[in-house]
């Protein structure tokens, strides 16, 4: 596990940079035992490699540093688990993992399709990240859930290139069977949650899934052959009550237990 506190391309409300720090701070208040999986995080070896010190205002350099870090974790035979930061951080992670895993596919939870080709003229952006990821993993390798916002063009483009499931997790278990033993990168943009459960994010989109639904899904998905994962887009300063950070911590705990127990 490591933090990638980067939010340089966020267009609306920045602040995802504060997520790793807040998650560390609040996680002491969280039990390590999961009644959902009847298992305890303390039974496993989870190493926290701290946060990357990313430069502000230099997107390419920041992405390079993330890519190197992921590559070195993979080299050590470990599974990288990245805490964002904004969603663009998934791109270098996928890049590094693809070198090792030719069949890599991506399971993606999000409110937004993130499939634009460019955003305000920039090709590297939180709003283009899954398009960039597609350039690496190719057609039929991205499974998207909970999507409820995007341009008409993104939804049309998705019909040919990704498995985009609108609004809900309805098709989720059927897809799991299809994925089978392919190596999987799990990318959880927490704004897939309804803003009532997760107000602390850059671009809240009403009409999302509940925390219980997300929990079920990520625990199941982590039973796949997960080779890397991230949890992104917590922007804690927009939620003074702290419930968004609590939701992030618990999601990370459940995903970690599920991934580690599978090994």
- Residues in contact with a second copy by the rule CB under 8 A: 7-15, 17, 21, 25, 29-31, 33, 35-36, 38, 40, 53, 55-59, 61, 88, 119-122, 124-125, 147-152, 155, 166-167, 194-197, 199-200, 203-207, 210-212, 215, 237-243, 246-247, 250
Instruction: Provide the minimum distance between the beta carbon of 102 and a second copy in the complex, in angstroms, as a whole number.
Output: 30
Instruction: Provide the minimum distance between the beta carbon of 171 and a second copy in the complex, in angstroms, as a whole number.
Output: 15
Evaluate whether 62 touches 6 at the Cβ level (below 8 Å). Answer: yes
Q: Return the DSSP state at 198.
A: -
**Residue with Cβ nearer a second copy (8 or 228):** 8
Give the sign of the dihedral formed by CA 131, CA 133, CA 137, CA 142.
Answer: negative
Instruction: Provide the minimum distance between the beta carbon of 70 and a second copy in the complex, in angstroms, as a whole number.
Output: 20
Q: Which structure tokens are listed for 222?
A: 């982590």
**Residue with Cβ nearer a second copy (13 or 182):** 13
Instruction: Provide the minimum distance between the beta carbon of 6 and a second copy in the complex, in angstroms, as a whole number.
Output: 9
**Residue with Cβ nearer a second copy (150 or 228):** 150
**Residue with Cβ nearer a second copy (56 or 100):** 56
Cα–Cα distances in angstroms (integers) from residue 218 to residues 16, 54, 91, 101, in the given order = 21, 28, 20, 21
Tell me how far the alpha carbon of residue 216 is from its chain's centroid. 16
Classify 91 in phi/psi space as left (phi over 0), alpha (psi -120 to 50) or beta: alpha
């Amino acid at each position: 596990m490591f933090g990638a506190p980067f939010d340089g391309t966020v267009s609306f409300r920045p602040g995802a940079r504060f997520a790793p720090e807040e998650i560390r701070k609040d996680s002491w208040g969280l039990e390590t035992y999961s009644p959902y999986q009847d298992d305890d995080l303390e039974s496993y070896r989870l190493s926290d490699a701290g946060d990357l010190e990313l430069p502000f205002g230099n997107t390419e350099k920041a992405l390079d540093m993330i890519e190197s870090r992921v590559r070195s974790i993979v080299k050590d035979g470990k599974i990288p688990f990245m805490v964002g930061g904004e969603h663009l951080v998934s791109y270098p992670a996928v890049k590094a993992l693809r070198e090792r895993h030719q069949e890599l596919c991506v399971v993606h939870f999000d409110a937004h399709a993130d499939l634009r080709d460019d955003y305000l003229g920039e090709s590297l952006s939180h709003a283009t990240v899954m398009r960039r990821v597609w350039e690496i993993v190719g057609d039929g390798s991205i499974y998207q859930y909970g999507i409820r916002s995007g341009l008409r063009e993104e939804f049309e483009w998705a019909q040919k290139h990704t498995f985009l499931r609108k609004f809900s997790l309805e098709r989720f278990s059927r897809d799991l069977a299809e994925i089978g033993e392919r190596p999987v990168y799990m990318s959880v943009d927490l704004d897939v949650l309804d803003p009532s459960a997760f107000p602390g994010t850059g671009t809240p989109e009403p009409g999302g899934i509940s925390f219980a639904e997300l929990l079920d899904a990520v625990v199941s998905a982590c039973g796949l052959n997960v080779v890397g994962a991230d949890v992104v887009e917590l922007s804690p300063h927009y939620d003074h009550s702290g419930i968004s950070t609590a939701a992030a911590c618990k999601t990370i705990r459940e995903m970690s237990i599920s991934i580690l127990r599978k090994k």
